[in-house]
A and B are shown apart, each in its own frame.
Chain A
Amino acid sequence: NAGVTQTPKFQVLKTGQSMTLQCAQDMNHEYMSWYRQDPGMGLRLIHYSVGAGITDQGEVPNGYNVSRSTTEDFPLRLLSAAPSQTSVYFCASSYSPADSYEQYFGPGTRLTVT
């Protein structure tokens, strides 16, 4: 198993550009989520999904869209990048948070918006 994969690892965008961060998992996990990590702060939940076709907002959803058309993939879209979105983004998956199963994290994407 490859686990949770994220692409790209690094990205530089100009203000106003759009892009999609890719996340995929091959563990048949129902639950997937996106976090951002900023210096001096813990991870903050952006969006999450409890299964294909179901998504919901987390703590900091503004400026981001998600969709979950398959169990494996959970892309995060930035519609119009802003410098405040400069951060490290992590995708995570688990069987079910209700069972407190371990969340498996991807390697992260470092995004810089200039």
Chain B
Amino acid sequence: AQTVTQSQPEMSVQEAETVTLSCTYDTSENNYYLFWYKQPPSRQMILVIRQEAYKQQNATENRFSVNFQKAAKSFSLKISDSQLGDTAMYFCAFMKFEDSNYQLIWGAGTKLIIKP
């Protein structure tokens, strides 16, 4: 069975610093998708970044980038020039979809606090 592990329950950094959140997953599949979602105190779930497993190039979205290591089954999120608005829970998620079968597995989350 697929699992997703986020080993850092909570992290805090100073504003403008760079922070990396870790995520590892376990699967025997070759084709799948990986996501990072952000959940601010408003509770709304917001997609931060997405990575297709067949793509070797790491995904980037403005200040957010990932380090996707397929062989190591690692999918870390790097936030550069962190801002106060980045304070939130961050969830890593793994998705496999085949025919009509669907599976989305979520990590337990990392609470990120950006300090002024």
Residues of A participating in the B interface, judged by any CB pair closer than 8 Å: 31, 33, 40-45, 48, 50, 54, 56, 88, 90, 92, 97-98, 100, 102-103, 105, 107-108
Instruction: Report whether over half of chain B's contact residues are helix, strand or loop; otherwise say mixed.
Output: strand
Docked pose: A93 CA to B110 CA in angstroms: 24
- Given the known inter-chain contacts A50-B100, A88-B43, A102-B47, please indicate yes or no for A40 contacting B108, CB distance below 8 A: yes
B6-36: CB near A (< 8 Å → 1, else 0) gives: 0000000000000000000000000001000
Cα distance A42–B93 in the bound complex, in angstroms: 9
Main DSSP-derived SS at the A contact region: strand
Min CB distance B1 to A, Å, is: 10
Q: Give Cα distance in the complex from A103 to B50, angstroms.
A: 11
B102 and A48 form a contact (CB under 8 A):
yes
B107 pairs with A42, CB closer than 8 A = yes
| Contact A97 to B4, CB < 8 A, known contacts A40-B108, A105-B44 | no
**Distance A46 CA – B45 CA, assembled complex (angstroms):** 17
Q: Could you give 28 example pairs across A and B, Cβ below 8 Å?
A: A31-B102, A33-B104, A42-B4, A42-B105, A42-B106, A42-B108, A43-B45, A43-B93, A43-B106, A44-B106, A45-B104, A50-B100, A54-B100, A56-B100, A56-B102, A90-B45, A92-B45, A97-B102, A97-B104, A98-B97, A100-B33, A100-B52, A102-B47, A103-B45, A105-B44, A105-B45, A107-B43, A108-B44
On chain B, the number of residues with a Cβ less than 8 Å from chain A's Cβ atoms is: 21
Q: How far is the CB of B101 from the nearest CB of chain A, in Å?
A: 8
Please indicate the chain B residues that have their CB under 8 angstroms from the CB of A43 in the complex: 45, 91, 93, 106
Q: Which residue of B lies closest to A105 (CB)?
A: B45
Q: B43–A108 contact, CB under 8 A?
A: yes
Residue of A nearest to B98 (CB): A98
| Choice from B44, B50, B97, B108 contacting A102 with Cβ under 8 Å | B50
Q: Which of A31, A48, A105 has the most CB of B within 10 A?
A: A105
In the complex, chain A residues whose CB is within 8 Å of the CB of B102: 31, 48, 50, 56, 97
Contacting residue for A42 out of B43, B46, B100, B109, CB 8 A: B109
A107, B44: Cβ atoms closer than 8 Å? yes
Complex CA gap A50/B95 in Å reads 15
